[in-house]
Structure 1
Amino acid sequence: MQQTSFEKYYPWFIAAVIASLVPGLFTPLMEPDAALYASIAKQIVLRGDWINLYADGADWLDKPHLPFWLGAASFHLFGMNAFAWKLPAFLCWLAGARYTYLFAKHFYGDAVARPAALIYLCALHAIISANDVRAEPYLTLFLIATSYYLVKEKIVLASLFAAFALMTKGPFVLIPIGGGMLLHWGMTGDWKQLWRPKWYLWLILTFVFTLPELYCLYAQFDAQPDKVVFGRQQVSGIRFFLWDSQFGRFFNTGPIKGKGDPFFFLHTLLWAFLPFSLLLYAAIFVRLRRLRQGTEWISLGAGLLTMLVFSLSRFQLPHYLNILFPYFAVLLAAWLVSLQRTKAVLATQRVVSLIIIVLAAAINVLFRGPGWPIYFAVTALAAFMWYRLRSYEQLVANGAVASIALALFLNIFFYPHLLPYQGGSTTAGWLNRQGITDTVRFYRINSYSFDFIYNGPVQREGNAPLIYTARKGKASLDSVGTVYQTVGVFPSYKVTRLDGKFVNASTRDKSLDTVWVLRLKE
């Protein structure tokens, strides 16, 4: 690919990708994780307590504080809503594109940096995560920024971003950072770097900048050993942060256990990095065969070593891969730029891009959200651009067209009409509009989206004037003769677990559950 060709359309495609993601900032939060994390940040604001984290009405020990601090700060500025929760993560994700560009430019120049940034923004799971916001958009920025400042030898900034990463996910974040640097030094024969004092200063400063997190964990848990956490007392928050939350999960010895498939991330990457995943596999394969060629190995080391650790772990979720997208984007862009015109590579990318365009149109027809025929204009424009972008120099842009078309479908024609079926957020929003703020008790159900959106108090146990429940809970109440008045009835569906019956508009009603708000009578 030639830089002069790519420069012509690069800014426009970057702008189009960002614009296609913006509508997703205004859709409700998905359950469970995004709504749970937003609810934790909500408690920070309501309690005025930035040290202790609470969820489900109890002390919460799982993820570090930084994403919740950022979310709570955004709530103070923009109010308690989904947009305020998503905005700081979205901005961090965009900043991750900037640092992907800077990192690639340092080693390869603009010819690689520009396509790398665009590839990063276009990855499918990046588009999904702009809606379903967890900690990964923050962590992605913090990791690639740390790597960039390390190669620039700006130790204070590298330490600060590394500490931000630690306060977002825990100590494992040192694996992609350190693994990438070690492989780079090893392949360049620059082992003397291990004895340079500045890298040890980096570790020391990183620890110093992480002290706010350690203090909060100590204050909430270590200083109060009588608290019951994970069903037991004497739980150390600091130990959980340093060991159990990361290495305890890896060895499956911590209080939170999981199951794993060693090939999970290998096949997950196939769809998560679309439309560039097949080319990424090829780039990794070629790079492994030609290890002695090139000048940069951080992207290979950070990407593959972390993916290997993930694969050996018992905890495996698709969004874990997002933090590696900057490194994969640089790796792929460098390979594409180094290639001569290759018909097989171009043909592969064009076929994958076309499949995405056609598949989005087919799902649109099947789902039939309000205004669904309008999307055919997007499909027609995407197909026209796909046809025109036929040269090898336009390969990345060809994939970007497919990603933009898909993002517009998801954020305008799909998610806004999918999330009203999420019973918790729909019910809570309706109660708010009715001006109802009585205490609501969850009965045989849990809903973080309800907890986040509802303006009144929510509790899991005890007595309350209102009950929020589903079919099993209502049947249980009926079986013991509970007297109540029905306040509201709403359809419900677990929107993060889609199946064909729900997506198909003609069979959707058969897949729905029901939730109720009941007012108990004395």
Structure 2
Amino acid sequence: MNKKEWFEIATIIVIAGFIMFFHLGELPLFDPDEPVYAQTAREMIAAKDLISPRIYGNFWYDKPPMYYWLVAISFKFFGQNEFAARFPSAFFAVCGTLLMYFEGKSIFNNRAGWIAALIAATSIEYFYLGKAAVTDMTLNFFLTASLLYYLKEKYYITYISAGLAILTKGPIGIVLPIIIIVIHLIMTGRLIRLKYMKIFREGFLLLLVSLPWYFIMYYFHGMDFISTFLGYHNIARFLQPEHPNGTLWYYYIPVLAIGFFPWTIFLVQSVWAALRSQNDPKRETLLFLIIWASVVLGFFTLSQTKLVSYILPMYPPLALIMGWYIDKCITENILGTLKKAALIMMLFISLLEMGLFTIVSDLAPIFTNGMISTGIVFAIVLIGTWVMIQWEEYMGFFGVLVVGMVAFVAVLMTQLFPAAVPFFSVKDFVPKFQKHYDGEASLYVAKFYRPGFMYYIGIPNMEMKSREQFADLVAKDSGRIYFIIQKRRYLNLPISEQNKLQLIDSQEGMILLLKDVRF
């Protein structure tokens, strides 16, 4: 590699590394998802059983073990803390940007790969999930490797990576690659390529990597594992909504528009240019990337359970298409479209600035400084964009956006997220609870708070599953019970039932209640 390539690699590592690892362990785990993965890894370690995931002392068939294993290893090196729980995601996020760079420069050129890597690293959803103790970034890395190495015809890496994806999040690790690859082969008229993919000779690597854990789980847990893991957590969640308010068919359109910020301005024109690239020597590669992104979007749009994180596997192909497009515009001096995108960005940031300063007075005072700092960052980005347009320095415009997003991450992690902690984590509420809890009474915790509460205090508790359950427990005339629930659930009780409870303490929307027959 020459000096330029080393420079490109260094900038990706520095920028992506800063974004992913800056203040990684400074914030508590955010409810409800992050504590689930940390607590499951902790209980597997305590039980000396790294095969069967467990939480609250019970076996837990929600996800395969890959992320739990990674967190357990991280706990071994860094201790059982927030940094260690999030380290695997941050690590694979950085590795993912490097993978995009190396494969992007291989299938396009150095600058296209470099731009793609930095676009991914600085897009909101990518770095948010890269800083979270959840499975999505790990899955994204293995899926990206599987599909990019298919493109390069290194099939043994494709199969191994797909096997690791299956170990990370289940059948989706093979379902998505199969759909994407088959559609690509059909659309390019190259189904004959299946003969050369060594499906039987190298495909066994996928089975060798992924199946042993599933067979062992079936051996120990039988049909309970099959029906819960495959039946409920995969098939049922695809066919039936787990969150009824997220079933809108257009759910992922705003998610993508916001999650891909600030690069959303290039999204439509990049994909459109790729679709029209009839005479481009990279036409088949571009078609594959479009199929990849479209299948992910289509698959999870059809899924009845929708979560923001599900479309993360769209980001690598879109970033690569965008890297190709920006490089093409600069190389071929097609600067008009980049200028239009820059002007749209300026308009968007201007509207964002007005919005920030309009709502800042209506926010809780704890958010004021963070919102003002955010406004200053984007004001500087606005000025920088204008200057680069005047100078016709479009790589400079790209650099302004990258540096602006790095600065935004710094504001996010030092001002905005710390202010949001009382709304999204039980950690600061735990000392308040400990001050009042007698150590003997029953304890019921709302599902949203239960994982974090278990992680930070370790006291066994029962899940508050519904309003009806809460009302029944309050109506009973015997027993001493503590409740940690959402304040709105308490306020929904009739006044006569509220009078049976003592409001012990509160934190934003969370309250600690005591029902005592002596009260």
TM-score, normalised by the number of residues in structure 1: 0.79
* Match in the other structure for 1:445: 446
CA distance in 2, matches of 1:219, 1:476: 50
- Which residue identity lines up with residue 15 of structure 1 in the other structure? V
Q: Write out aligned runs for 1:67-466 (5 A).
A: 67-186=67-186, 188-196=188-196, 198-222=198-222, 235-238=223-226, 241=229, 245-252=233-240, 260-290=247-277, 293=280, 294-296=283-285, 297-339=287-329, 340-352=333-345, 355-356=348-349, 359=352, 362=357, 366=363, 368-369=365-366, 372=370, 378=377, 382-383=381-382, 385-390=384-389, 391-422=393-424, 424-428=426-430, 438=439, 441-443=442-444, 445-446=446-447, 447-460=449-462
Name the SS of the counterpart of 1:458 in structure 2: coil
Q: Which amino acid aligns with 1:237?
A: F
1:279-333 superposed Cα distances (whole Å, 9 cap, x missing partner): 1122223333445642413312211112111111212111111122111111121
- The answer to whether the 8 A contact 1:357-1:405 is kept is no
* Alpha-carbon distance change, 212 to 76 in structure 1, aligned in 2, over 3 angstroms: farther
Out of 416-425 and 137-146, give the one that drifted further: 416-425
- The answer to whether the Cα contact below 8 Å between 1:364 and 1:409 also exists between their aligned partners in 2 is no
Code of the residue aligned with 2:511 in structure 1: it is V
- Does the aligned pair in 2 maintain the 1:6–1:394 contact within 8 Å? no
**CA shift for structure 1 position 87:** 0.8
Q: Distance in 1 between matches of 2:350 and 2:428?
A: 31
Relative to structure 1, the CA distance from residue 113 to residue 374 in structure 2 (aligned partners, 3 Å threshold; closer, same or farther) is closer
Over 3 Å counting, the alpha-carbon distance change for 1:56 and 1:138 in structure 2 is same
Give, in whole Å, the separation in 2 of the partners of 1:521 and 1:418.
36
State how far apart, in whole Å, the 2-side matches of 1:469 and 1:260 are.
26
Give 3-state SS (helix, strand or coil) of 1:199's partner. Answer: coil
- Does the 8 Å CA contact 1:175/1:306 hold for their aligned counterparts? no
Matches within 5 A, 1:20-35: 20-21=19-20, 22-35=22-35
Provide the residue aligned with 1:59 in structure 2.
59
How big is each residue's C-alpha offset from its partner over 1:68-96, in whole Å with a ceiling of 9 and x where there is no partner? 22122222322222211111111011111
| Contact 1:353-1:398 at 8 Å conserved across structures | no
The alpha-carbon deviation at position 242 of structure 1 amounts to 5.1
Name the SS for the 2:506 alignment partner. strand
Question: Displacement of 1:193 after TM fit?
Answer: 1.2
1-structure distance, mates of 2:46, 2:208? 29
Aligned residues: 482
Distance change in 2, residues 1:281/1:491 (3 Å): same
- Separation in structure 1 between the aligned mates of residue 93 and residue 405 of structure 2, nearest angstrom: 16
Note closer, same or farther for the CA distance 1:197–1:310 as it changes in structure 2 (3 Å cut): closer
Distance 2:221 2:137 in 1: 28
Unaligned runs of 5+ in 1: 223-234, 493-512
Are residues 442 and 358 of structure 1, via their aligned partners in 2, closer, same or farther at CA, if it must alter by over 3 Å? farther
Provide the identity percentage. Answer: 19
Bigger relative CO (Cα 8 Å, ≥ 6 apart): 1
SS of aligned partner of 2:134 = coil
